[in-house]
Amino acid sequence: MTSHYLNFVGGQWVPSHTKRTFPDINPANTDEVVGVFQASGPDDITAAFAAAACAQPAWAALPAPRRGEYLFKAAEILESQLTSAATDMTREEGKTLPEATGEVKRAINILRYFGGEGSRLFSYQIPSERENVFCFTLRKPLGVVGLITPWNFPSAIPAWKLAPALVAGNTVVLKPASLAPLSALRIVEALERAGIPAGVINYVTGSGGAVGDAMLENTSLKAISFTGSCEVGNRLYDKATRRRLRVQLEMGGKNPTVVLADANLDFAAATLVNAAFFSTGQKCTACSRAIVERAVYEPLVERLVARTRALKIGNGLEAGIDIGPAVDESQLNTDLEYIAIAQREGAKLLCGGRRLTGGAYDKGFFVEPTLLGGVTPDMRIAQEEVFGPVLALMVAEDFEDAMRQANGVRFGLSAAIISNDISRVHQFVNRIEAGLITVNLPTAGVEYQLPFGGTKESSFGMREQGPLALDFYTESRTVYLKHTV
């Protein structure tokens, strides 16, 4: 029987005021409805913000280490459900079970990391010029924060927004992506079971179009953290800044990997296949452009084609599958459209490029991992985010040409170089326009304890994750305290 899930508002699981629901469909088997969720509207958002505003003063007054304890407990609860939470994620998002298990583990690590921040929450103590004056800063929570998350990391992204927000003393209204709302619900359930006070965390599902304005217009809202497409993020930015709200946006990418002529080509091919195709290329940090020095272009292509053809595509719950489906039909069509556009503009299809059909494939949104050769910087496939398993291969005449091509896009999320030439690696690290830079590693696969975020049109605002994450969710107050005798 299909499970029905409710919103979590003011410590209660409640149906939407709209009395409407929507299905969460398995993209590997569209016959399977993973769950039915509330198709919320503005009234649900208003109720969630009212509950969050009511709970906020008491939550902020609780000593931060005690706030952290709720996160530790939630981490323990989520860990006890690791297999079922990962299975839920594979069923709703399509990524393979090992990928989903890794993501839930990451969410657990994030809860623990920020649980620990409860006993740190550092601020500054700075000497005064004056006698008997003691100066320091205080970190204060902002109040009620709104979190809007995408489907591609449906557990880790809610966790990396929720955990710093909560430990800093904010209360939260979370709106997860409609394509994968169950993974975030598992974290909310864990926090509830950990005993978090009513109203501190509120979870409202429903289409972004139906609830977005109500979130942005709510007078209790003090900050909005969004991860998703540039199109939606930029619209939210306009609305949020009109009200002088604090805003944090993590958006698209067109992430390059530069392969220099000295690279070990088997290693380079393995690294590129990992970065471009795992999680069906549906990672914001996935590599979508390989920029390769001419001397090694052809031998690298040969190795890439062989490795890509060997990948197993299928239902991520089955053992041995490397790549699951696209998340839905619309994303599948986007992948196929970009492959067609690239060929029309002169790129050469080297392998893949088709929707997989026949047998179990007919029930899902499976697309072959695709290599496109001879891509030039003016082509749309070199400039626009696809968000699927499509890798554009580009020739660079030399290092300078590679740098020019790598930086010649509007995005700046992640970037990699494969080379052991220390001088060029140093130059790359200093000159590449990206927030996340890797050397001899895939562009994707970042760790939870380090700051995360991009530059240029990929991101706006303060960094997420790691020690810098708390800056977004806190406001600094400066105190001058004179002791008199």
Other CB atoms within 10 A of residue 406 CB = 26
Quote the crossing angle between the two packed helices 97-117 and 156-167, to the nearest 10°: 10
Assign 3-class secondary structure to 192-230: HHCCCCCCCEEECCCCHHHHHHHHHHCCCEEEEEEECCH
User: Is 250 part of the annotated catalytic residue set?
Assistant: yes
Which residue lies nearer to ligand NAP by CB, 76 or 384?
A: 384
Q: Find the catalytic residue in 117, 189, 250, 385.
A: 250
Q: Can you list the pairs that 127-133 forms with residues at least 24 positions away whose Cβ atoms lie under 8 Å? A: 128/480, 130/482, 132/482, 132/483, 132/484, 133/480, 133/481, 133/482
Which residue lies nearer to ligand NAP by CB, 185 or 265?
A: 185
Which residue lies nearer to ligand NAP by CB, 9 or 232?
A: 232
Query: Residues 429, 439: contact at Cβ < 8 Å?
Result: yes
Shortest Cβ 252–ligand NAP spacing (Å): 4
User: Is 135 part of the annotated catalytic residue set?
Assistant: no
Q: Is 169 left (phi over 0), alpha (psi -120 to 50) or beta?
A: left
Which residue lies nearer to ligand NAP by CB, 190 or 215?
A: 215
Which residue lies nearer to ligand NAP by CB, 91 or 283?
A: 283
The binding site for ligand NAP (CB under 6 A) comprises 148-153, 175, 177-179, 207-209, 212, 227-229, 232, 236, 250-253, 284, 385, 387, 413, 454, 458
Query: Cα 26–365–92 angle (5° rounding)?
Result: 20
Shortest Cβ 18–ligand NAP spacing (Å): 14
Structure-token match 């490397």, residue found: 322
Shortest Cβ 425–ligand NAP spacing (Å): 24
Sign of CA dihedral 464, 467, 473, 477: negative
Beta strand 171-175 pairing with 125-127 = unpaired
Instruction: Compute CA distances 65 → 54, 71, 78, 114, 127, whole Å.
Output: 21, 10, 20, 10, 27
**Residues 379, 401: Cα–Cα separation, whole Å:** 16
Shortest Cβ 413–ligand NAP spacing (Å): 6
Which residue lies nearer to ligand NAP by CB, 404 or 456?
A: 456
Q: Find the catalytic residue in 103, 284, 368, 433.
A: 284
Shortest Cβ 330–ligand NAP spacing (Å): 9
Active site residues: 250, 284
